[in-house]
Amino acid sequence: MRASLKLVDPAIDAYDVADDVAPVAARERSLLRFITCGSVDDGKSTLLGRLLYETGAVFEDQMEALDRDSARFGTTGDDRDFALLVDGLAAEREQGITIDVAYRYFATDRRAFIAADTPGHEQYTRNMATGASTADVAIILVDARKGLLPQTRRHSYIVSMLGVRRVIVAVNKIDLVDYDEQVFRKIERDYRVLAASLGFVETHVIPVSARFGDNVATPSERTPWRTGPSLLALLESIEAAPAGDCEFRFPVQRVNRPDLDFRGFSGTIASGAVAVGDTVVALPRSRTTRIARILGPSGDQGRAGAGEAVTLTLADEIDLSRGDVLVHAESLTKPRRQFQARLLALGETPVTPGRAYLVKIGTAVTAARIIALHHTVDVHDYRTIPAAALEMNGIGLATLRLETDVVAADYAACQPLGGILLIDPHSNDTVALGVVEADAASRADRPRAGDGIVVALARFGLVSRDTTFDELRRRAIDAAANAGLTGLIASAATRDAELALAATCADFVLRPLLDAALGHLRSWIAMRRQNRREAGLSLDGGGI
Amino acid sequence: MGRLTHLQALEAESIFILREVVATCERPVLLYSIGKDSAVLLHLALKAFAPGKPPFPLLHVDTGWKFREMIAFRDETAKRYGLDLIVHINQEGVAGGVNPITSGSAVHTDVMKTQGLKQALDAYGFDAAFGGARRDEEKSRAKERIFSLRTPDHRWDPKAQRPEPWRAFNTRKRRGESFRVFPLSNWTEADVWDYIALENIPVVPLYFAKRRPVVERNGALIMRDDARLPLLPGEVPQLKMVRFRTLGCYPLTGAVESSAATLPEVIAEMRASRVSERQGRIIDHDGSNSMELKKQEGYF
């Protein structure tokens, strides 16, 4: 029998191909991560199902299953219920709601998309926040019949808190208000008022019908009063600017030491870029060395930027382990023991000041306590309220005190080192996520602006080192008076003292500072050039 | 991530996940199921720990019913990269005569795959197991975390999943608990093939069309890989140009008629396809929620 079934090629060779067969699109297509959020029953899952359908990401057998499911669980009468394409858990399908974040994938020729479909119910806000944390863009749905709801405000606040700066408001079910422009315009106006304080750099408002596809993939003739691209076209073209500043930060993820000849530090660059030969400092212990090699996914490379997973080798044998962070030698980043963070409570047990927690920042985990809970935020009107603890889904501003020094960055500057997890050390549950914020408490760890000015002036021999800030302030006021800047005197005397001081001192503080800084920069650039040349030589010579 | 292409971004994310497990777990293992996703996962593991080898073994939970070409490819792959390969077969299941033909797909999958996997993880004390599952494969997978915490009984509770904001993974666990980790969560079938082409990754030849002996049963083309598949009265295997979109136990894996014999042809065919890859998997069709139930019981 076996002989008659000569099925397998005796020589089983791995299939080899030339590396030029992938379509150009796959090589150059960029990636956009977005989230759909909004209130219950405003059609988030339906909209996402529609986008999948319109981009050909739903297959025939899935469509047949959808039609079967629509008949059984559907909420759209005889029509296909596109929401059932994405609501995957049994409990969700039975209840007709979304409980957990679902990730969905589709692509056009221009972009690949990862969509997070998030729950609308308030009790699942934490799942919505998880989806928002990685999003470049948020699509906030509003039911055209209902206008803005508490969840609209809540979700807008959370996407803003998590650093999303580009928002598309999809005014859905526009078919159910007879494609009425007035209804749409009112919601558009209301939303712009709501979002005024949220720091979005782009806010697009689009009328859509997820159920019938109006303005989803193509502009609809039923909204002739609106011009502009469809939702899909907007998603294809919207800028997905990488968040953060350009300072190089590299949290060490793992020491790679396969044998005695190699010792590298693996990790993903959190922000900025690095080149072979750069002088770097390992924090928190502040050891200085140079980058010897950068190993990327395809071998040695001369430089690497944010988001790249690399292994670095260093010129010197310095003590460095998981949780440490490499920065450029001239970086102002300093290890911190304390910072403020905006927290979102995720667990059933309230997050409470004084309790022992673990904090995960980048690759570092350290013991921490909340030493102050400044307030919680009422996400319906963005008011702050005093509170003793943060209940599940609650958002509040807290000061955390850590047991060891860690490198944390402000979230706006560097998400991977500014987004933190708060973990219960006993249950191991993740009880909160947080974003590190620049504020008074974290500034307390650094020199105050006033102290800096004294130091700078002393350095240039303009004042003595023991000059107090108040003395300096008096001198600044005198200088301002001499210059006839009475307005500045008034503000220097009030709470804007530091600002006024800086302004009045411009001539004899900032100019020498600027000159010194420029000189420093020139010598630094020259040094880097030199380093690069040396690194280039050693690379050639080393035959890497 | 601004300047990275989407495949570079996915590659970097997967490498980060692989390293995070090795840095925080004691005894990881890579569940190697021989298919294209495993091939990509292994390729990423080779990159993540270069110039060293991946610091974990490969584990294949065999059912005794894999295509013979898969087994040959598996052994050759482990040898090529000099990796430890553990092959585990549920001997209780073998002794009890469990097989995909008379036991049915549900019992066979539960005993030989799910129970077999749990036996192997317990026997070796692995506390983290990488799998090549992707969220685009199936609806309940779409809700799965990248780090999926399992109880000491390996069960999955869809309602008690840890939130995973950003790429910050809470990797703490109690004694006896373990993680199933899915570095390819955010990849699609198209991404996997594009990456295989870009990186020139070897895959099992069964993915490419060739004349193979198949019988048609319940609308599925089943390849008769050996004599254990009994022929029904009057049934004669036909030689047809077929290939496979996914690979599993041969009596449970439907072939598709195709002339795509090269990688570019396979990619072109996949792009034009209107049917999902798991359609060929008979075990998925026991009901809309069947994958979710299997996962709760400890299936990957």
Mind listing the pLDDT tens digit for each residue in A256-305? 999 999 999 999 999 999 999 999 999 998 899 999 999 999 999 999 99
Please check whether residues A258 and A352 belong to one and the same domain: no
A356 inside 8 A of chain B by CB: no
Please check whether residues A434 and A451 belong to one and the same domain: no
More confident residue, A90 or B110: B110
Please check whether residues A123 and A158 belong to one and the same domain: yes
Q: How far is A59 from chain B (nearest CA, A)?
A: 5
Interface with chain B: mutation pick from A58, A128, A236, A254, highest number of B CBs within 10 Å: A254
Please check whether residues A410 and A520 belong to one and the same domain: no
For position A544, what pLDDT does the model report? 29
Domain-terminating residue out of A328, A355, A387: A328
User: Domain count of chain A?
Assistant: 4
In angstroms, the CA A411 to CA A302 distance is 28
Position B300 pLDDT exceeds 90 = no
Where is average pLDDT lowest: A6-10, A341-345, A405-409?
A6-10
Where is average pLDDT lowest: A236-245, A304-313, A370-379, A419-428?
A236-245
Interface with chain B: mutation pick from A21, A61, A365, highest number of B CBs within 10 Å: A21
Where is average pLDDT lowest: A101-105, A201-205, A371-375, B257-261?
A101-105
Please check whether residues A402 and A534 belong to one and the same domain: no
Domain-terminating residue out of A424, A440, A456: A440
Q: Is residue A244 part of a domain?
A: no
3-state secondary structure of A166: strand
Identify the band that residue A494 occupies on the pLDDT scale cut at 50, 70 and 90: very low
Where is average pLDDT lowest: A356-365, A431-440, A525-534, B212-221?
A525-534
Q: Is residue A106 part of a domain?
A: yes
Percent of chain A with pLDDT over 70: 69
Position B94 pLDDT exceeds 50 = yes
Distance of CA A359 to the CA centre of its chain: 18
For position A98, what pLDDT does the model report? 60
In A269-279, which positions are buried (b, 16+ CB within 10 angstroms) versus exposed (e)? bbbbbbbbbbb
Cβ contacts (< 8 Å) between A29 and chain B: which residues?
Answer: 5-6
Token couple for B63: 């059912």
Please check whether residues A127 and A221 belong to one and the same domain: yes
User: Across the interface, do B20 and A13 touch by the CB < 8 Å criterion?
Assistant: no
Q: How far is B122 from chain A (nearest CA, A)?
A: 22
For position B20, what pLDDT does the model report? 98
Q: Which of A274, A276, A370, A280 is nearest to A324 (CA)?
A: A280
Q: What range does the domain containing A218 cover? A: 26-237
Please check whether residues A413 and A457 belong to one and the same domain: no
More confident residue, A482 or A55: A55
Position B287 pLDDT exceeds 90 = no
pTM over 0.90: no
| H-only helix segments in A82-194 | 90-95, 125-133, 150-161, 181-194
Of B5, B203, B279, the CB nearest to A15: B203
For position A449, what pLDDT does the model report? 46
Position A8 pLDDT exceeds 50 = no
Diameter over CA atoms, chain B: 61
For position A441, what pLDDT does the model report? 43
User: Domain with A124 in it: what CATH number?
Assistant: 3.40.50.300
User: Across the interface, do B267 and A19 touch by the CB < 8 Å criterion?
Assistant: no
Domain-terminating residue out of A237, A268, A302: A237
Cβ contacts (< 8 Å) between A14 and chain B: which residues?
Answer: 73, 76, 202-203
Please check whether residues A88 and A232 belong to one and the same domain: yes
Q: Is residue A10 part of a domain?
A: no
Distance of CA A72 to the CA centre of its chain: 40
For position A80, what pLDDT does the model report? 66
User: In chain B, what are the domain boundaries?
Assistant: 6-192+289-296, 204-283
Position A88 pLDDT exceeds 70 = no
Q: In what order do the strands lie in the sheet with A30-38?
A: A102-107, A111-117, A30-38, A137-143, A166-172, A202-207
Q: Which run of H or E residues covers position B122?
A: helix B116-124
Q: B6-192+289-296: what fold?
A: Rossmann fold (3.40.50)
Within 305-324 of A, beta carbons closer than 8 Å to B belong to: 305-309, 311, 322
More confident residue, B283 or A19: B283
Please check whether residues A77 and A200 belong to one and the same domain: yes
Give the residue-averaged pLDDT of A97-111: 81
User: Across the interface, do A430 and B163 touch by the CB < 8 Å criterion?
Assistant: yes
Position A319 pLDDT exceeds 50 = yes
Q: Is residue A1 part of a domain?
A: no
Position B170 pLDDT exceeds 90 = yes
User: Domain with A354 in it: what CATH number?
Assistant: 2.40.30.10
Identify the band that residue B272 occupies on the pLDDT scale cut at 50, 70 and 90: confident
Identify the band that residue A4 occupies on the pLDDT scale cut at 50, 70 and 90: very low
Please check whether residues A392 and A453 belong to one and the same domain: no
User: Across the interface, do B1 and A31 touch by the CB < 8 Å criterion?
Assistant: yes
Q: How far is A362 from chain B (nearest CA, A)?
A: 7
Identify the band that residue A332 occupies on the pLDDT scale cut at 50, 70 and 90: confident
For position B180, what pLDDT does the model report? 95
Give the residue-averaged pLDDT of A106-116: 90
A5 inside 8 A of chain B by CB: yes
Please check whether residues A113 and A173 belong to one and the same domain: yes
For position B273, what pLDDT does the model report? 75
The answer to whether the CB of B212 falls within 8 A of the CB of B254 is no
The answer to whether the CB of A191 falls within 8 A of the CB of A169 is yes
Please check whether residues A42 and A138 belong to one and the same domain: yes
Q: What is chain B's mean pLDDT, rounded?
A: 90
More confident residue, B263 or A380: B263
CA distances from A130 to A32, A127, A418, B162 (A): 16, 5, 15, 10
For position A445, what pLDDT does the model report? 41
Q: Is residue A4 part of a domain?
A: no
For position B2, what pLDDT does the model report? 47
